Amino acid sequence: MLGLMQNQPLLISSLIDFAERHHGDGEIVSRRIEGDIHRYTWRDVGARARQVANALDGLNLLFSDRVATLAWNGYRHLELYFGVSGSGRVLHTINPRLHPDQIAWIANHAEDQVLCFDATFLPLVQAIHARCPTIRQYVMLCDAGKLPRDSGVPNLIGYEDWIGGKPTAYTWPSFDENSASSMCYTSGTTGNPKAALYSHRSTLLHAYAAALPDVMGISARDSVLPVVPMFHVNAWGIPYSAALTGCKLVFPGPALDGKSVYELIEAEKVTYAAGVPTVWQMLLGHLKPNNLRFSTLRRTVIGGSACPPAMIHAFREEYGVDVLHAWGMTEMSPLGTLCTLKNKHLTMPPEEQMKIRLKQGRAIFGVDMKIVGEDGSELPWDGKTFGDLYVKGPWIVREYFKGEGGDPLVDGWFPTGDVGTIDPEGYLQITDRSKDVIKSGGEWISSIDIENIAMSHPAVQMAACVGMPHPKWDERPIVAVVKKPGADITREDLLEFYEGKIAKWQVPDDVVFVESIPLGATGKMLKTRLRETLKDYKLPTA
């Protein structure tokens, strides 16, 4: 017997319809590339998203055709999120920080038909358009009359001219909720990038889950600043959860430095912000010397790479901001775990609570996880045993776009490439990427632990731990360190600093001071590149 409830497909268009009807006057604020602040409401987003849909129909784009973006977080990008997916096309957000060759490669692989880009990225588009034969329309996200003359980019139109004059009425089509809605390529640090192809269903389930109190906990009372880019994994789904909850949305545009982010937080009474640790590092770096406080910011979600304990401390103790540590990946839409305490933890002393907060957190309903050993058998949840982390759930990839890389699943589980422990309470702690694991004398050493300790030293700005070949132990850890400007610290100081914080045999064998640590397109440390720069390095203990 079937249930007798109404059968409505979970479609992205229902989010924008809902936002317009139920919190139509909810505010969306964007810092524009021009530097000024733009404000409007969900009602405006809806009207303009429908103009986008009409403009796409005007190009005779078919169902599932790809529309790409190279854009910062801003209102026009938001309109494309809803207009492209809502009308049945697939939004392909491209990370502009990738190498131009890689961008051309993925635009061809995705067979993008339209490319919408911010003016910042005109030089990039000029460099790649000749190599992108599938793109038949370029749209620059600029004000009317601001399109540059003689750009050399064929079939280029300004966004306002493109959608201006198009009807604001449009009947969103209804279709199978499993249809593709958007796509995002992984950064491809090994081999060519592969795309996660999200569906309307996966996006809506993820949007519901993300808003839950133990997940992102976004509500209509929040003013939310996604610093995490809309070009990478849909800004962690925040634009969708915002439409669902009716929170205020604040977009930072291209201005991601500490000063600009701080000023926007204060001006727009931001209560909630989300981003990767490197961005918050810049923000904290601006607050301290200028003796600034937050007047409204209460919570921040930090993920994308391990959040250093020193950062969680600084936010909580010095600024009264609760940090939610999150873990996920492109292949997971991206949320997998978030760290919130359970009722029984509330009576624990603060130091004990902190030990929990440092972990990556508990699985969200919709994500199941397990750690497995080398033979593939499941390992215990004892908080000590390390294993390869596998996940499954309705917003996790089953297969990459065009079947690239073959079947990624193992018995229905997706191997994340991360290594971690799970404790008896279900809290995951990531210790490494599997390719970064350091094996010394048959025992694993967590590079994240070593980095976190270094980062808690007041003279250290950034730290990356890598394994170096050792004749007796196979590998020994060393830590590459960027000093804070003006700070002084020696190799011996830092090695001494490790004493008592980890087991003796886990203390790195050496400290190498470097000018900078190479970062990838999503702001993560590129250890492969770091290892290349250290190829002539010899361990003092070897």
- Per-residue DSSP letter, 114: E
Site string for ligand ADP, 395-424 (x = CB under 6 A): ---------------------xxx------
> Alpha helices, DSSP H only, in 412-535?
447-455, 491-498, 527-533
Which residue stretch of 36-44, 254-262, 324-332, 366-374 sits at the interface with ligand ADP (rule: CB under 6 A)? 324-332
**Residue 29 or 91: which CB sits closer to ligand ADP?**
91
Placement of tokens 């620059």 in the chain: 140
CB of 149 to ligand ADP, least distance (A): 37
Half-sphere exposure of 311 (CA within 13 A, CB side): 30
Residue 342 annotated to the active site? no
Q: Of the residues 93, 186, 300, 340, which is catalytic?
A: 186
**Residue 247 or 306: which CB sits closer to ligand ADP?**
306
CB of 446 to ligand ADP, least distance (A): 11
Sites for ligand ADP among residues 204-233 (CB under 6 A)? 233
**Residue 83 or 304: which CB sits closer to ligand ADP?**
304
| 306 lines the binding site for ligand ADP (CB under 6 A) | yes
Q: Of the residues 269, 288, 435, 439, which is catalytic?
A: 439
Pairing of strands 248-251, 27-31: parallel
**Residue 193 or 258: which CB sits closer to ligand ADP?**
193
Which residue stretch of 49-57, 160-168, 209-217, 328-336 sits at the interface with ligand ADP (rule: CB under 6 A)? 328-336
Considering only 73, 330, 340, 452, the residue that binds ligand ADP (CB under 6 A) is 330
| 246 lines the binding site for ligand ADP (CB under 6 A) | no
Residue 439 annotated to the active site? yes
**Residue 436 or 509: which CB sits closer to ligand ADP?**
436
Q: Of the residues 27, 444, 483, 528, which is catalytic?
A: 444
Closest CA to 139 of 47, 68, 232: 68
User: Which residues lie closer than 8 Å to 465 by C-beta, 6 or more apart?
Assistant: 438, 447, 448, 450, 451, 454, 477, 478, 479, 480, 508
**Residue 113 or 330: which CB sits closer to ligand ADP?**
330
Which residue stretch of 138-146, 301-309, 348-356, 390-398 sits at the interface with ligand ADP (rule: CB under 6 A)? 301-309
| 329 lines the binding site for ligand ADP (CB under 6 A) | yes
**Residue 219 or 456: which CB sits closer to ligand ADP?**
456
| 112 lines the binding site for ligand ADP (CB under 6 A) | no
Residue 538 annotated to the active site? no
Closest CA to 232 of 332, 100, 374, 135: 332
Provide φ and ψ at 369, rounded to 5°. Answer: -140, 160
Pairing of strands 427-433, 414-422: antiparallel
Between the CA of residue 239 and those of 80, 276, 444, what are the distances in Å?
A: 11, 17, 39
**Residue 26 or 304: which CB sits closer to ligand ADP?**
304
Q: How far apart are CA 46 and CA 42, in angstroms?
A: 6
Provide φ and ψ at 247, rounded to 5°. Answer: -70, 160
Residue 435 annotated to the active site? no
Considering only 462, 522, 525, 527, the residue that binds ligand ADP (CB under 6 A) is 522
| 327 lines the binding site for ligand ADP (CB under 6 A) | yes
Sites for ligand ADP among residues 475-494 (CB under 6 A)? none
Q: Which two tokens stand for residue 509?
A: 């064998």
Q: Of the residues 331, 395, 413, 421, which is catalytic?
A: 331
The dihedral built from the CA positions of residue 93, 97, 99 and 101, taken in this order, carries a sign that is positive
Element (DSSP H or E) covering residue 445: strand 443-445
- Residue 211 contacts residue 245 (beta carbons within 8 Å): yes
Considering only 93, 186, 440, 446, the residue that binds ligand ADP (CB under 6 A) is 186
User: Which residues lie closer than 8 Å to 179 by C-beta, 6 or more apart?
Assistant: 63, 64, 88, 199, 200
- Residue 274 contacts residue 228 (beta carbons within 8 Å): yes
Which residue stretch of 65-73, 167-175, 215-223, 297-305 sits at the interface with ligand ADP (rule: CB under 6 A)? 297-305
Half-sphere exposure of 428 (CA within 13 A, CB side): 29
| 360 lines the binding site for ligand ADP (CB under 6 A) | yes
- Residue 26 contacts residue 19 (beta carbons within 8 Å): yes
Sites for ligand ADP among residues 446-475 (CB under 6 A)? none
The residues of the shown chain that bind ligand ADP, judged by CB under 6 A, are 186-187, 233, 303-307, 325-330, 334, 360, 416-418, 430, 433, 522, 524
The residues assigned a catalytic role are 186, 331, 439, 444
